[in-house]
C-alpha cells in the first residue's frame, strides 16, 4: 500500500511547562483525517538529509473532532533536531509533510476492566487524547488510574485538565509522582501527590486485586523497561495485559 503524505500547516504554539510546548497544525486535506485516541503522526522536518534526522513521530494530543486540527505536546531535547526545529525555527504558516495516523496504543475495546495508565514526562500526551474522549462520552471502564511521573510540580502537563478529570470523570483517579521534589504540594481536587517515582505507586496499589487490570505504559525507555519487569515478575501480570509506547 502506498504511503500517503499530508501537508500540515503550523498555526501556533503555547508554553505548557519549562521544557514542553503545545504545537498546533492544520492538516490540509479536503476530507477529515480520522484517527483513534493514542495514535501518532510521523513528520518530515527540514532538518537534514538523512531520514533518521528528518522523520519524527509524535502522539496526537487531542481527541478526533473532524476539524483536522492536530495538537502535539513536545518536550525540548538537547541535540534533538526535530524538537530544536519546533522550539527555535518553525514559523506560523510553515508547511510540514506528515503521514499516518499509525499505532496500536489505543483504548482497549474490552470495557469491563480497570485501566492503569502509567506515564512519565511527555508520555502523558496520548493519554490526554484518550481522557478527552472518555470525558466527552462518559467512562465505560470499571476504573481508570493515571499514574504520572515528572520531576517537579512545575513540570506537570495539563494540570487544569487533570484536576477537572479528577472531579468530573466517574471512577477516575490521578496520582502524580514527583521524583525531584522535597515536599508534597497542596492537593488540588482529588489529585494524589507522591514523592518518588511511579513504580512505588503501582507496586503498592496493585499488589493484590490486579486480575482485571489492563496496564498501559508510555514514557521514558528506562521507566518502561523497569515497569514491564515489575509488572510481569513481581505482580505476575500476564504479558497480554501490558501495552507500552516508548518516548525517547
Strand partners, 194: 177
Return the C-alpha cell found at 78.
538537547
Please report which confidence band the pLDDT of residue 36 belongs to, taking 50, 70 and 90 as the band edges. Answer: very high
> Domain total for the chain?
2
Please report which confidence band the pLDDT of residue 186 belongs to, taking 50, 70 and 90 as the band edges. Answer: confident
Instruction: Say if residue 231 is preceded by a cis peptide, omega within 30 of 0.
Output: no
| Mean local confidence (pLDDT), 146-152 | 97
Tell me: pLDDT of 44 over 90: yes
Average of per-residue pLDDT values in the chain: 94
| Mean local confidence (pLDDT), 174-188 | 88
**Separation of first and last alpha carbons in the chain:** 28
Give domain status of residue 68, yes or no.
yes
Give domain status of residue 108, yes or no.
no
pLDDT of 184 reads 87
Tell me: pLDDT of 248 over 70: no
Tell me: pLDDT of 3 over 80: yes
Indicate if 98 and 163 belong to the same structural domain.
Answer: no
- Containing H/E element for 13? strand 5-15
Give domain status of residue 192, yes or no.
yes
Indicate if 239 and 138 belong to the same structural domain.
Answer: yes
Distance CA 152, CA 41 (A): 29
Burial 132-166 (b: 16+ CB within 10 A, else e): bbbbeeebebeebbbbbbbbeeebbbbbeebeebb
Q: Give the CA diameter of the chain.
A: 53
Please report which confidence band the pLDDT of residue 188 belongs to, taking 50, 70 and 90 as the band edges. Answer: low
**What is the percent of the chain with per-residue pLDDT over 90, rounded to a whole number?**
87
Q: Choose one of 70, 102, 134: the last residue of a domain.
A: 102
Tell me: pLDDT of 151 over 60: yes
Indicate if 154 and 185 belong to the same structural domain.
Answer: yes
Indicate if 49 and 97 belong to the same structural domain.
Answer: yes
| Mean local confidence (pLDDT), 106-120 | 96
| Mean local confidence (pLDDT), 122-130 | 97
Rg of the chain over all Cα atoms, to the nearest angstrom: 18
pLDDT of 140 reads 94
Please report which confidence band the pLDDT of residue 139 belongs to, taking 50, 70 and 90 as the band edges. Answer: very high
Give domain status of residue 140, yes or no.
yes
Indicate if 14 and 61 belong to the same structural domain.
Answer: yes
- Are residues 130 and 36 in contact, defined by beta-carbon separation less than 8 angstroms? no
**What is the percent of the chain with per-residue pLDDT over 70, rounded to a whole number?**
98
Domain ranges, residue 167: 114-246
Give domain status of residue 61, yes or no.
yes
pLDDT of 24 reads 98
Q: Which of 39, 48, 47, 43 shows the shortest CA–CA distance to 25? A: 43
Chain segment 202-245, per-residue pLDDT in tens:
999 999 989 999 999 999 899 999 999 999 999 999 999 999 99
- Are residues 201 and 175 in contact, defined by beta-carbon separation less than 8 angstroms? yes
HSE at residue 182, side-chain half, CA atoms within 13 A, is 0
Distance CA 106, CA 199 (A): 22
Q: Which of 247, 243, 15 shows the shortest CA–CA distance to 110? A: 243
pLDDT of 1 reads 63
pLDDT of 26 reads 98
Give domain status of residue 139, yes or no.
yes
Amino acid at each position: 500500500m502506498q504511503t500517503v503524505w499530508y501537508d500540515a500547516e503550523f498555526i501556533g504554539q503555547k508554553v505548557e511547562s519549562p521544557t514542553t510546548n503545545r504545537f498546533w497544525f492544520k492538516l490540509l486535506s479536503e476530507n477529515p483525517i480520522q484517527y483513534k485516541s493514542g495514535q501518532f503522526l510521523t513528520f518530515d522536518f527540514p532538518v537534514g538529509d538523512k531520514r533518521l534526522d528528518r522523520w519524527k513521530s509524535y502522539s496526537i494530543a487531542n481527541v478526533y473532532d473532524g476539524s483536522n486540527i492536530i495538537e502535539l505536546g513536545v518536550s525540548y531535547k538537547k541535540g534533538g533536531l526535530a524538537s530544536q526545529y519546533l522550539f527555535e525555527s518553525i514559523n506560523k504558516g510553515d508547511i510540514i509533510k506528515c503521514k499516518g495516523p499509525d499505532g496500536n496504543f489505543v483504548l482497549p475495546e474490552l470495557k469491563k476492566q480497570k485501566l492503569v495508565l502509567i506515564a512519565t514526562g511527555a508520555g502523558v500526551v496520548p493519554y490526554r487524547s484518550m481522557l478527552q474522549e472518555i470525558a466527552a462520552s462518559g467512562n465505560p471502564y470499571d476504573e481508570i488510574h493515571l499514574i504520572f511521573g515528572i520531576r517537579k510540580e512545575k513540570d506537570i502537563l495539563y494540570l487544569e485538565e487533570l484536576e477537572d478529570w479528577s472531579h468530573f470523570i466517574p471512577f477516575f483517579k490521578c496520582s502524580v509522582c514527583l521524583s525531584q521534589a522535597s515536599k508534597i504540594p497542596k492537593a488540588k481536587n482529588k489529585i494524589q501527590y507522591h514523592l518518588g517515582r511511579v513504580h512505588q505507586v503501582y507496586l503498592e496499589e496493585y499488589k493484590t486485586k490486579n486480575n482485571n487490570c489492563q496496564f498501559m505504559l508510555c514514557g521514558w525507555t528506562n521507566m518502561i523497561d523497569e515497569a514491564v519487569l515489575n509488572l510481569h515478575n513481581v505482580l505476575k501480570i500476564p504479558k497480554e495485559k501490558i501495552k507500552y509506547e516508548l518516548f525517547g
